[in-house]
Amino acid sequence: MARTQGSHSEITGPRIRAAALKLFAAHGYAAVSMRQIAREVGLQAGALYNYTPDKQDLLFSLMKAHMDELLSACASHVTSGDATTRLRNFVDFHIQFHMGRADEIFIAYMELRNLSPENFETIEALRRAYEDTLGAILEAGLTEGVFDVPDPKVTTRALIAMLTGITTWYRPDGYLSPADVSEIYWNMTRKAVGV
């Protein structure tokens, strides 16, 4: 037996990550075994260790990759303009990004407690950095005198919680298009900050 036909590192690696992502999102990190992940890919459990040092690192690298992608995509979508424009761009970006990545978002929010302390600190820092981009927009709106928010920090968290909530109910085959959803959430956000 051993190596089967046509298998390659460049193919197997991503397939393992995709399987882990799907299974972690569906059942939770702790409830998924390395053997289940391997079975999903069509391997024996031992083969996974050619691609990850251990299970913990598999989770961490998925979360890290997600956060890195989130931050860089956000930075390129929410760039210039006045505070209101940037807020609108942020809302649109957040909705669009989160709609297409249900599994990643689920894991990023649910599996924080299964990270080792160092890994948690790394992910938490990235999460705070993302939060701060919205925080900065709200602060800018305050100094421009166009927003009416009593506590920018609390408002930031409230808005992000509201926007991220779409992942719990949005389905592509529902009666609302992504643009509809964006419009509804933008109007709520806009009014909530007093524009």
Partner DNA sequence: TCTTGCCCTGAACACCCGTTCAGTTACAAA
Partner DNA sequence: TTTGTAACTGAACGGGTGTTCAGGGCAAGA
Q: What is the binding site for DNA (CB under 7 A)? A: 1-9, 12, 32-36, 38, 42-47, 49-50, 53-56
User: Closest separation between CB of residue 130 and a second copy, Å?
Assistant: 14
Nearer to a second copy, 42 or 174 (CB): 174
According to the binding rule CB under 8 A, does residue 155 interact with a second copy? yes
User: Closest separation between CB of residue 47 and a second copy, Å?
Assistant: 24
Residues 71 and 129 sit within 8 Å (Cβ to Cβ): yes
According to the binding rule CB under 8 A, does residue 30 interact with a second copy? yes
Look at residue 47 and give the partner it binds from a second copy, DNA, none, a contact being a CB closer than 5 to 8 Å depending on partner kind. Answer: DNA
Find the part of the chain contacting a second copy (CB under 8 A) among 11-19, 76-84, 117-125, 162-170.
162-170
Q: What are phi and psi of 150, to 5 degrees?
A: -70, -35
To 10 degrees, the CA torsion angle through 11, 12, 14, 17? 170
* Number of alpha carbons in the 13 Å side-chain half-sphere of residue 169: 8
User: Max CA-CA distance within the chain?
Assistant: 71
Distance (Å, whole) CA 107 – CA 59? 9
Nearer to a second copy, 11 or 30 (CB): 30
Nearer to DNA, 53 or 145 (CB): 53
According to the binding rule CB under 8 A, does residue 126 interact with a second copy? no
Distance (Å, whole) CA 133 – CA 139? 10
**3-class DSSP string for 82-137:** CHHHHHHHHHHHHHHHHHCCHHHHHHHHHCHHHCCHHHHHHHHHHHHHHHHHHHHH
According to the binding rule CB under 8 A, does residue 146 interact with a second copy? no
Contact letters for a second copy, residues 31-50 (x by CB under 8 A): x-------------------
Instruction: Tell me which residue has tokens 């083969």.
Output: 47
Residues at the interface with a second copy (CB under 8 A): 26-31, 110, 113-114, 150-151, 154-155, 157-162, 164-166, 168-169, 176, 181, 183-185, 187-188, 191-192, 194
